[in-house]
A and B are shown apart, each in its own frame.
Chain A
Amino acid sequence: EIVLTQSPGTLSLSPGERATLSCRASQSVSSSYLAWYQQKPGQAPRLLIYGASSRATGIPDRFSGSGSGTDFTLTISRLEPEDFAVYYCQQYGSSPNTFGQGTKLEIK
């Protein structure tokens, strides 16, 4: 089973700032089958990034993903008020399709 470790656990930033979230895998993620999700309280997760760097339909271009192998990054270039939420990475290249433990992005 691939274990995903996200850092930091909590990130405190202000609107307009840049956010960098990390996801490290215990072994290489095949074909960069790595996704990022955003989740707000009381809502289902929303797909932001798939294939490590492809934005899902309707996702603003301030969200970008990068990385390969075992190290992946989600970057939000300029934070908007609606971006404060919990973010999860997930690998879907092998079974089980594991999730990271999440990074909470909070307003400073």
Chain B
Amino acid sequence: QVQLVQSGAEVKKPGSSVKVSCKASGGTFSSYAISWVRQAPGQGLEWMGRIIPILGIANYAQKFQGRVTITADKSTSTAYMELSSLRSEDTAVYYCARTSGGGYNYWGQGTLVTVSS
């Protein structure tokens, strides 16, 4: 059974960066895309980008281009999402999710990132 375990909650200052990790266990890490989705308090789901670990190629939503970097370490089955130039509007729960060919079957538990001065 695939499990995605994310790093813990973060509190960051405006203008700083945050890096959230997502460690996968079970299944084949490299072959399936890992996506990052965020959810601001009381709001809906917002897709940020994804990476296919075996290719090492990431693509991003236009909204986050230039501010987000998604990487993957095949040796540790861990994906990372780094968001820079943080502002208060980036306060949200950040999820990693993995597809198995149709939709996002597996989700991490979520990581709350709070941006506050």
Interface residues of A, Cβ cutoff 8 Å to B: 1, 33, 35, 37, 39, 44-47, 49-51, 54, 56-57, 88, 90, 92, 95-102
In whole angstroms, what is the CA distance A52 to B117 when docked?
44
How many residues of B are in contact with the other chain, CB < 8 A? 22
**Secondary structure dominating the interface of A:** loop
B44 near A56 with CB under 8 A, answer no
**One of A33, A44, A90 near B108 (C-beta < 8 A):** A44
In whole angstroms, what is the CA distance A69 to B111 when docked?
34
**Secondary structure dominating the interface of B:** strand
A47 near B104 with CB under 8 A, answer yes
**One of B49, B61, B110 near A44 (C-beta < 8 A):** B110
CB distance from A103 to the nearest CB of B (A): 10
> For A45, what are the chain B residues with a Cβ–Cβ distance below 8 Å?
45, 95, 97, 104, 107
